[in-house]
Structure 1
Amino acid sequence: MVDDDEAIREALDDLLRSVGFRCRPFVSAEDFLALADRTGIACIILDVRMPGLSGLELQERLNKEGGGHPPILFMTSYADETTRLRALGGGACDVLGKPVDAHVLIASLNRAIAAG
């Protein structure tokens, strides 16, 4: 999960671990990109607006790297139609509004992992 908001990272980490997922929180897109070995990542939960590279810019970089990447779920407080279409057009599996309902997030995450 990549989100600049510490409270959201902690809450999502607790939620995902409570239902059996392993989670690795990242403070920024740049921190995620610095990860040398991304094998074993089943899905990326990604905030849209962050300082530095935005979530959409991270998605574009991953798409340009080639070789495929894990499925992406976006979470955002700014769920306007342009952002949603850009994320989905870039291959995102879903765009969820914050605050996200835990059941909706888990269902979306399971679909993304199954499809990925």
Structure 2
Amino acid sequence: MFNPPVIAVVDDEEAIRDALSDLLLVMGYTCRAFDRAEAFLASDAPDRFDCLITDIRMPGISGLELLQQLKAKGSTVPVIIVTSVTDPLIRSRALESGAHAYLTKPVTDDVLLQSLKTALPDRDIPGDDEERPADA
């Protein structure tokens, strides 16, 4: 039985949260959205997610601080940053802190989905079978 990866989306902008959540659900992922990093950290167990997609600029704890807190606690959950922040120093800090990918908005669906595939190499990814030729 197929057990889709569970993705957490943390973004303070409702429209972005909804768009990302809708895309993930349509693609066959299980998704849970949070409007702040604090809400994500207060959830039952952040490590129950297979991947985290977060913005950088949010009220309270930023996406970079969230990433750093998770890594400091020993979390191995891959983190994909999706942000409008194009500052090379922040990008560098995020990647050095362990972000799997740093994507700048607007992000195409294909780029985001490819980042999820590389973040979750050992998981069955929704839609993967559609990419293989029928006679393979």
| TM-score interval, normalised by the smaller of the two chains | over 0.9
Per-residue CA deviation, residues 54-81 of structure 1 (Å, 9 max, x unaligned), is 0001111111112x23100001101221
The match for 2:44 is 36
* TM-score, normalised relative to structure 2: 0.80
- Matching of residues 1-116 of structure 1 within 5 Å: 1-66=9-74, 68-114=75-121
**For the residues of structure 1 that align with 2:119 and 2:42, how far apart are their CA atoms?**
24
Q: Which runs of 5+ in 1 are unaligned?
A: none
Distance 1:40 1:14, change over 3 A: same
**For the residues of structure 1 that align with 2:91 and 2:100, how far apart are their CA atoms?**
11
**For the residues of structure 2 that align with 1:39 and 1:17, how far apart are their CA atoms?**
20
Per-residue CA deviation, residues 14-57 of structure 1 (Å, 9 max, x unaligned), is 10111111110000000011012234311000100000000001
1:73 maps to amino acid = I
Secondary structure of the structure 1 residue equivalent to 2:43: coil
**For the residues of structure 2 that align with 1:31 and 1:52, how far apart are their CA atoms?**
11
Distance 1:115 1:75, change over 3 A: farther
1:21 maps to amino acid = Y
**For the residues of structure 1 that align with 2:77 and 2:21, how far apart are their CA atoms?**
18
Is the 8 Å Cα contact of residues 47 and 77 (structure 2) preserved in structure 1?
no
Count residues with an aligned counterpart.
115
**For the residues of structure 2 that align with 1:78 and 1:39, how far apart are their CA atoms?**
26
Q: Which runs of 5+ in 2 are unaligned?
A: 1-8, 124-136
| Aligned CA-pair RMSD | 1.4
Is the 8 Å Cα contact of residues 24 and 31 (structure 2) preserved in structure 1?
yes
> Structure 1 or 2: larger strand share?
2
